[in-house]
């Protein structure tokens, strides 16, 4: 599918983002920060899931991946010929305010089956994080649920940050295995595409006046909290993750996990949205995807000069939802209704 006309249409949409100091944007970021802390460990995450569940008929599910890892998800049943998997980023979960609200809105307004999951090592899910490599199997397990139980013909993906990297790996895995479930369109916000660069960037302390310094300090504390004091540096975590997975070391893990060299395997409609002012995943990741996929018209990149890291919905909710609506409408040949910002 040639997405170039669709990309031009999305780039022409009016953009009126609020400033980072706007109360709505502050509220959005505050909620996300509280969610990160509240769901950082399995125990509290399970507690909050029970006391504040998704509305019925959403069902809490445990999905087993191809490599035997149990990942947690919420499944919203519906009748349609396509469904959607929502994939949070690192330290984000299916029960975060933003992802929960997205899942419920899409399920209600678009009338499609939805799965919102915790990637391995986050929220309630078991396992070890691998920088987007084996997280692809988590997404494939969610797609299998939609195919086998909801009877959909196509599965779309809405993801962000590391969830975006996992999505790109899942697309390649889907094509390589011949499953061909993930033809419903992959929309990735603020995704990294070069795992080595991403790990090195978030592991090294930036200068105190760098825009990433505050997030770096918060990320370090979250990793320390999540690992019960074992790690405060993601590079060290990934080194041990490589050994646990039977690899020779960090270099082999990042080579396997890198989505950028798998673009030739991705034949599904894929759109990456990135901001030039992203302090966590620099815009060079989006530019690299443009270069690696320059001859593939099914993979396109939209770059804005605002949005930070995964802040598009908080700063410009109408634009965010219109991008989602137009993308999935075009890919799946339907006319989806608007979702209010």
- pLDDT, position 107: 98
Quick one: average pLDDT of 302-323?
96
Check pLDDT > 70 for residue 60: yes
Identify the top-confidence range among 33-37, 48-52, 188-192: 188-192
Q: Is there a contact between 113 and 76 (Cβ–Cβ < 8 Å)?
A: yes
Q: What is the pLDDT of residue 24?
A: 81
pLDDT value of position 67: 97
Please give the CATH superfamily to which domain 4-332 belongs: Alpha/Beta hydrolase fold, catalytic domain (3.40.50.1820)
| Pairing state between β 59-64 and 154-160 | unpaired
pLDDT the model gives residue 267:
96
Long-range contacts of 231-236 (CB under 8 A, 24+ apart): 233/203, 234/199, 234/202, 234/203, 235/199, 235/200, 235/203, 236/203
In Å, the largest CA–CA distance within the chain is 52
* Residue range 135-153: mean pLDDT, rounded: 98
Using DSSP, state whether 60 is helix, strand or coil.
strand
Band the pLDDT of 19: cuts 50, 70, 90. Answer: confident
pLDDT band at 21 (very low <50, low <70, confident <90, very high): confident
Distance CA 102, CA 160 (A): 13
Higher pLDDT, 34 or 206: 206
Q: Is 202 left (phi over 0), alpha (psi -120 to 50) or beta?
A: alpha
pLDDT of residue 9: 98
- If DSSP states are collapsed to H, E and C, what string results for 73-134? EEEECCCCCEEEEEECCCCCCCCCHHHHHHHHHHHHHHCCCEEEECCCCCCCCCCCCCCCCC
pLDDT at 341 over 70: no
pLDDT > 70: percent of the chain:
99
pLDDT at 331 (0 to 100)? 98
| Prediction pTM value | 0.96
Q: How confident is the model at residue 69 (pLDDT cuts 50, 70, 90)?
A: very high
């Amino acid at each position: 599918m040639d997405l170039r006309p669709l990309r031009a249409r999305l780039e022409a949409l009016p953009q009126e983002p609020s400033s980072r100091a706007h109360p709505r944007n502050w509220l959005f970021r505050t909620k996300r920060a509280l969610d990160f802390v509240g769901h950082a460990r399995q125990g509290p995450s399970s507690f909050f899931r029970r006391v504040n569940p998704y509305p019925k008929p959403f069902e809490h599910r445990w999905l087993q991946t191809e490599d035997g890892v149990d990942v947690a998800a919420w499944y919203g049943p519906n009748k349609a010929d396509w469904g959607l998997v929502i994939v949070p980023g690192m330290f984000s979960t299916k029960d975060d305010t933003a992802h929960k609200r997205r899942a419920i809105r899409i399920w209600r307004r678009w009338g499609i089956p939805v799965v919102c999951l915790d990637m391995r090592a986050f929220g309630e899910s078991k396992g070890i994080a691998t920088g987007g490599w084996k997280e692809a199997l988590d997404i494939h397990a969610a797609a299998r649920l939609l195919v086998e139980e909801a009877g959909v013909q196509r599965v779309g993906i809405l993801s962000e940050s590391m969830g975006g990297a996992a999505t790109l790996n899942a697309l390649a895995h889907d094509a390589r295995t011949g499953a061909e479930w993930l033809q419903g369109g992959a929309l990735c916000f603020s995704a990294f595409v070069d795992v080595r660069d991403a790990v090195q960037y978030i592991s090294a302390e930036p200068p105190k006046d760098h825009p990433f310094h505050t997030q770096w300090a918060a990320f370090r504390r979250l990793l320390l909290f999540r690992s019960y004091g074992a790690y405060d540096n993601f590079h060290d975590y990934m080194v041990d993750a490589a050994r646990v997975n039977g690899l020779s070391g960090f270099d082999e893990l990042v080579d396997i996990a890198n989505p950028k060299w798998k673009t030739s395997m991705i034949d599904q409609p894929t759109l990456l949205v990135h901001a030039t002012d992203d302090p966590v995943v620099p815009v060079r990741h989006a530019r690299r995807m443009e270069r690696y996929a320059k001859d593939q018209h099914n993979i396109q990149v939209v770059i804005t000069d605002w949005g930070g890291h995964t802040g598009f919905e908080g700063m410009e909710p109408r634009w965010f939802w219109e991008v989602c609506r137009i993308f999935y409408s075009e890919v799946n040949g339907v006319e989806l209704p608007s979702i209010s910002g």
